[in-house]
Amino acid sequence: MKEWLQKKAINFCIRHLLNAPLPKDFLDIKGKDNWFAKGKQLKHETILKLKEEVEVLEGLMIWKFLTEGAREIAYREGVETSTNTNDTYGAKMLIYIVDIFKTIIGNIKKF
């Protein structure tokens, strides 16, 4: 219960205070064949294709370069060389977006 409540509180803060997207804004998975994108339910064939593409994407070198590179750049620009709060805020948003994409991929792999 505590973990659920913490998750709800964090999502509320992210959504309403920062106006940042949540994973479900991109792909809302409510069950095995109950997936939604842009408010429309996805067909079973589309779900299977997404699962296949996730397996391929995770193995691609470009995916690793982009995600790891984004984190390194964000750390460098947001911590090591930042000159104001906007630099830090931008770096945190970059890390957050990468985490969102990784969360979506993880959610797809779960089902």
- pLDDT bin (cut points 50, 70, 90) of residue 15 is low
What pLDDT was estimated at residue 51? 96
- What's the pLDDT tens digit per position in 25-80? 999 999 989 999 999 999 999 999 999 999 999 999 999 999 999 999 998 988 88
**Cβ pair 100, 23 in contact under 8 A:** yes
- Sequence-ordered list of residues with C-beta below 8 angstroms from that of 88, at least 6 positions apart, any chain: 78, 79, 82
What pLDDT was estimated at residue 111? 87
Q: Where are the domains of the chain?
A: 2-110
The dihedral region occupied by 97, where left means phi > 0, alpha psi between -120 and 50, and beta the remainder, is alpha
Q: DSSP secondary-structure letter at 37?
A: E
**Cβ pair 100, 21 in contact under 8 A:** yes
